[in-house]
């Protein structure tokens, strides 16, 4: 017998006598006599696998290969085996894995244990809860084959029990606003469901905070010698990172003609807004005519910005009309032809209806602004036959990137009301010295939320309004207040208009610094007054330069740099409180105020019969994009052809004199050298670069950009 043949075949050789007396050899395959089965794992969980192998031996114990193996399970319901020997546990139990080779079998015992958890899923009917609301969660356990498992122990946990708590049975309960991951764990495997807790949504209310935080100027005493101009520096900073619809507040002053010794009623009865102001009688001098506006956040703003805007405003007719630009009212309506009273003077900077915007930034800065009476248009009888003075109240700005005059109110816009009520002739801003008796933060309106704690004590919240705290618990809003005599600039400009002698500077020696004293902190919150509190005061503060300013002071637990945001009802009044003093379960801290909506301004009428007729345009239209995202559309007019001047019907000689002056003004950089006195502290604010324009070729002098739309 020979061993080691190919494919390990064992052959038997026999000698057989042949007919010729020779011998013949016969080889026969070896016989399988033993099959031994081995399992990589003799115990496996259901839904897992192991590998079975078979060792085949012949009668001499020699291994055989290449023989076909048939695999089977004695209990297929417990375990199955593939043709390649892969064994899969099905359910818990015992089975034998059998290998059959040429009718010889071998087997190995397999124990299948219950399936282990491979995945855990967590589910519930909702993923958000209110505080106090509960939701039963369920855990779905599956094995590696995706078969649902039951009867296993599940442990429940929450990643934030301050927001959501969960019981041992998986009942999740909202506690406070926030979010948490609710985790179910079984046999080392976990699944998580994110749950959020939202506070109850309270109804937002209008008619929140309103009132004044003011300081008196020179004890509210007029000084007619210095009644021809007023200037101050105003804070520019981020007022409200998240603006709210329905919030209006601004800081500045009211310039009114000095009629303190005049005893007659200046406003006509029956048709003017004075009828809604009975407490201003008997003369109504404080609402007869005003120049106001300033920095602030305005409910009429169509293009919200986190940095307040500087807006012009004037009321020439007992608060019936509020002129805010060359074409629109403060509320955003188009001015009628007889209401066009603001004339563009600068050929470098636009005057948009939505106000002057700034380069946004959290570092506070200051903007210089002044209204100075200038003799730009001579006294005469207006086109309506009304005697009119010669005072053109002109806006000057002093910023890091612009200095000089911007626009002015024509004298005729002030005298027009005397055509209705002759008693006011000569008493308006066109002819009378003016004064300003106080400076104030005026809060027109805010929204609010109201809630009560478990004991019934009521609390309120207004939008968050921040102010430029200087690090000592003080914030200045209006500072470096000055009043101007005619000698400061009037005389020099008159010589320029009449004789062409260019004015070089404002005479600071002909100005008078104002003295401030505390005025009122008169603020109402909805239905009741706010009680003054020593932790928050408004009035006179000291600037970094040692001067006086209208501002705010904080102490104690009140958050510095923030107008009190929360209030507790105490008797019949509201008392400012720190946020930490408001019970959490009032949910006031969790409310969201409505954001303001963007809008646009109505377009001007460009037809032939309109003051805005395109037949008078010298160039345009052009567009400019501002930092607030709005687009300003403007055209170029010859100065005397712009609507506010053209409607005056000036005699040719007067019109030519004014036009010549404006051309000279533009040739000399627009009075850039005539800056109001510098601020005593702080850095100058930067106007939005989008506001600046360059005159077209050939229109460099004597032409002005007039805004015809903002959208």
Question: pLDDT by residue (tens digit) across 228-278?
Answer: 999 999 999 988 777 899 999 999 999 999 999 999 989 877 766 655 667
Q: Which domain holds residue 155?
A: 119-197
Give the span between the Cα atoms of 158 and 612, in whole angstroms: 67
660, β-bridge pairs: none
Helix 486-499 vs helix 652-667: crossing angle, to nearest 10: 110
**What is the band of 281 on the pLDDT scale with cuts at 50, 70, 90?**
confident
> Does the pLDDT at position 18 exceed 90?
no
Pairing of strands 256-257, 434-435: antiparallel
> Are residues 704 and 624 both part of a single domain?
yes
| Whether residue 127 is found in the same domain as residue 47 | no
705 plus 618 within the same structural domain:
yes
For residue 74, the number of C-alpha atoms closer than 13 Å in the C-beta half-sphere is: 14
Strand-pairing partners, residue 599, are none
**H/E element, 369:** strand 365-374
In what order do the strands lie in the sheet containing 119-123? 119-123, 138-142, 148-149
Does residue 192 belong to any structural domain of this protein? yes
- Choosing from 197, 227, 243, the residue where a domain stops is 197
Residues 6+ apart with CB under 8 A from 230: 253, 255, 370, 371, 434, 436, 481, 482, 483, 484
Question: Quick one: tokens of 215?
Answer: 């300081």
Same domain, 84 and 135: no
197, 224, 256 - which closes a domain: 197
Do 97 and 182 reside in the same domain of the chain?
no
* 425-443 confidence digits (pLDDT tens): 999 999 999 999 999 999 9
d(CA 392, CA 97): 109
3-state class of 384 per DSSP?
Answer: coil
Asked if residue 404 belongs to a domain, the reply is no
Query: Which tokens belong to 276?
Result: 């809604």
Inside any domain, residue 85: yes
* Per-residue model confidence (pLDDT) at position 671: 56
Residue 640 has φ and ψ, to the nearest 5°, of -75, -5
Burial 258-281 (b: 16+ CB within 10 A, else e): bbeebeebbbbeeebbbeeeeebe
Query: Is 89 part of any domain?
Result: yes
Whether residues 107 and 190 fall in one domain = no
User: Where does the pLDDT of residue 2 fall: very low under 50, low under 70, confident under 90, or very high at 90 and above?
Assistant: very low
164 & 123 share domain: yes
The verdict on 137 and 189 lying in the same domain is: yes
pLDDT at 27: 64
CATH number, domain of 166, equals 2.60.40.1080
Residue 220's pLDDT band (boundaries 50, 70, 90)?
A: very high
* pLDDT of 20 higher than 50: no
DSSP 663: H
Residue 268's pLDDT is 77
Tell me the backbone φ, ψ of residue 82, rounded to 5 degrees: -85, 170
Residue 234: asked if its preceding bond is cis (omega within 30°), the reply is no
pLDDT tens figures, 45-77: 998 999 999 999 999 999 999 999 999 999 999
Reported residue count of the chain is: 711
Beta strands in 571-702 (DSSP E): 573-577, 617-625, 631-638
Of 375, 373, 473, 388, the residue nearest 428 (C-alpha):
388
- DSSP, res 286: H
Average predicted confidence (pLDDT) for the chain: 91
The reported pLDDT for the residue numbered 16 is 41
Q: How far is CA 123 from CA 138, 142, 144, 185, 454, in A?
A: 6, 14, 20, 13, 33
- For residue 224, being part of any structural domain is answered with no
Least confident residue range of 4-8, 172-176, 291-295, 371-375: 4-8
The verdict on 139 and 107 lying in the same domain is no
pLDDT digits (tens, 9 = 90+) for 334-354: 999 999 999 999 999 999 999
Q: What's the rounded Cα separation, in Å, for the pair 679 and 499?
A: 32
pLDDT value at 700 more than 80: yes
- On whether both 618 and 701 belong to a single domain, the answer is yes
**Rounded average pLDDT over 598-621:** 93
Mean pLDDT confidence for 71-99:
96
Residue 26 has pLDDT above 90, yes or no: no
Sequence-distant (≥ 6) Cβ neighbours of residue 402 within 8 angstroms:
348, 349, 687, 692
Q: Give 317-367 as a DSSP string.
A: STTS--B-SSSBBTTSPBPPGGG--EEE--SSB---TT-B-B---SS-EEE
Task: Return the bridge partners of 265, or none.
Answer: none
Residue linked to tokens 């004590």: 457
Decide if 187 is inside a domain.
yes
513-550 pLDDT, tens digit per residue, is 999 998 877 899 998 999 877 889 889 999 888 899 99
Mean pLDDT of 206-227: 94
Task: Give Cβ neighbours of residue 355 (< 8 Å, ≥ 6 apart).
Answer: 298, 301, 309, 310, 311, 312, 324
- Displacement of CA 372 from its chain's centroid (Å): 35
**CB-CB neighbours of 649 under 10 Å:** 12
pLDDT band at 362 (very low <50, low <70, confident <90, very high): low
Residues 6+ apart with CB under 8 A from 67: 32, 56, 101, 102
Residue 441, strand partner residues: 213, 251
d(C-alpha 164, C-alpha 166), whole Å: 7
Q: Is residue 319 part of a domain?
A: no
Q: Tell me what the mean pLDDT of segment 10-36 comes to.
A: 60
Q: How many domains is the chain partitioned into structurally? A: 3
Last residue of a domain, one of 140, 175, 197: 197
Q: Same domain for 74 and 128?
A: no
Q: How far is CA 3 from CA 27, 55, 667, in A?
A: 11, 20, 120
Percent of the chain past pLDDT 70, that is, above it, reads 94
Q: Burial of 34 by CB count in 10 Å (0-12 exposed, 13-18 middle, 19+ buried)?
A: middle
Tell me the three state secondary structure of residue 433.
coil
Distances (CA, A) of 28 to 1, 24, 25, 100, 539: 11, 14, 10, 21, 120
Residues 62 and 103 in one domain: yes
Evaluate whether residue 5 is within a structural domain: no
Task: Specify whether the CB–CB gap between 392 and 237 falls below 8 A.
Answer: no
Whole-number Cα distances in Å, 514 to 232, 291, 550: 10, 18, 12
């Amino acid at each position: 017998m020979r061993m080691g043949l190919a494919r390990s075949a064992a052959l038997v050789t026999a000698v057989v006598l042949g007919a010729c007396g020779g011998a013949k050899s016969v080889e026969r395959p070896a016989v399988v006599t033993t099959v031994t089965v081995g399992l990589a794992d003799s115990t496996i969980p259901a839904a897992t696998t192991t590998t079975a192998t078979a060792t085949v031996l012949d009668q001499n114990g020699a291994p055989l290969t290449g023989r076909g193996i048939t695999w089977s399970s004695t209990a297929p319901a417990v375990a199955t085996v593939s043709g390649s020997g892969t064994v899969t546990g099905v359910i818990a139990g015992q089975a034998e894995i059998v290998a059959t080779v040429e009718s010889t079998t071998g087997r190995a015992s397999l124990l299948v244990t219950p399936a282990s958890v491979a995945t855990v899923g967590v589910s519930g009917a909702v993923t958000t809860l209110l505080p106090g609301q509960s939701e039963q969660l369920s855990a779905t356990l599956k094995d590696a084959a995706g078969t649902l498992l039951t009867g296993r122990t599940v442990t429940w946990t929450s990643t934030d029990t301050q927001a959501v708590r969960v019981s041992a049975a998986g009942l999740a309960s909202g506690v406070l606003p926030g979010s948490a991951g609710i985790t179910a764990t079984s046999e080392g495997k976990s699944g998580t469901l994110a749950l959020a807790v939202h506070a109850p949504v309270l109804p937002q209310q209008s008619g929140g905070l309103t009132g004044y935080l003011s300081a008196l100027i020179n004890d509210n005493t007029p000084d007619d010698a210095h009644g021809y101009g007023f200037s101050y520096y105003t804070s520019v900073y981020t007022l409200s990172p998240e603006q709210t619809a329905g919030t209006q507040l601004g800081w500045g002053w009211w310039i009114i003609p000095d009629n303190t010794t005049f005893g007659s009623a200046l406003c006509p009865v029956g048709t003017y807004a004075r009828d809604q102001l009975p407490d201003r009688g008997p003369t109504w001098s404080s609402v007869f005519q005003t120049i106001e506006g300033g920095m602030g956040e305005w409910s009429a703003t169509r293009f919200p910005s986190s940095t307040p805007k500087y807006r012009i405003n004037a009321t020439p007719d007992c608060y019936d009309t509020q002129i805010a630009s060359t074409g629109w009212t403060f509320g955003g309506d188009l001015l009628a032809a007889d209401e066009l009273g603001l004339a563009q003077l600068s050929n470098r900077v636009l005057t948009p209806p939505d106000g002057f915007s700034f380069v946004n930034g959290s570092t506070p800065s200051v903007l210089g602004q002044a209204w100075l009476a200038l003799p730009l248009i001579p006294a005469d009888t207006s086109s309506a036959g009304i005697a009119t003075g010669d005072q053109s109240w002109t806006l000057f700005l002093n910023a890091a990137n612009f200095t000089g005059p911007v626009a002015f109110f024509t004298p005729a816009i002030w005298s027009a009301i005397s055509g209705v009520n002759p008693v006011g002739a000569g008493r308006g801003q066109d002819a009378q010295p003016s004064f300003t008796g106080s400076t104030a933060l005026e809060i027109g309106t805010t929204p609010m939320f109201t809630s009560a704690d478990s004991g019934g004590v009521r609390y309120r919240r207004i939008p968050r309004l921040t102010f430029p705290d200087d690090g000592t618990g003080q914030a200045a809003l209006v500072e470096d207040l000055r009043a101007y005599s005619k000698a400061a600039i009037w005389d020099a400009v008159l010589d320029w208009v009449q004789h062409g002698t260019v004015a070089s500077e404002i005479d600071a020696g002909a100005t008078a610094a104002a003295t401030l004293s505390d005025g009122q902190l008169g603020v109402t919150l909805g239905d009741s007054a706010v009680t003054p509190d020593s932790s928050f005061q408004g009035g006179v503060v000291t600037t970094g330069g040692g001067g006086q300013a209208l501002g705010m002071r904080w102490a104690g637990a009140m958050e510095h740099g923030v107008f009190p945001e929360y209030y507790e009802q105490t008797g019949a009044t509201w008392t400012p409180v720190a946020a930490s003093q408001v019970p959490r379960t009032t949910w006031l801290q969790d409310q969201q105020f409505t954001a303001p909506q963007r809008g646009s301004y109505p377009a001007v009428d460009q037809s032939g019969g309109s003051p805005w007729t395109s037949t008078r345009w010298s160039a345009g239209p052009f567009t400019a994009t501002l930092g607030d995202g709005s687009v300003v559309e403007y055209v170029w007019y010859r100065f005397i052809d712009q609507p506010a001047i053209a409607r005056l019907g000036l005699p040719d000689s007067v019109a030519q004199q004014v036009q010549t002056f404006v051309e000279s003004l533009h040739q000399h950089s627009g009075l850039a050298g005539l800056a109001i006195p510098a601020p005593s502290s702080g850095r100058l604010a930067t106007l939005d670069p989008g506001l600046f324009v360059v005159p077209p070729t050939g229109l460099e002098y004597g032409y002005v950009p007039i805004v015809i739309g903002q959208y």
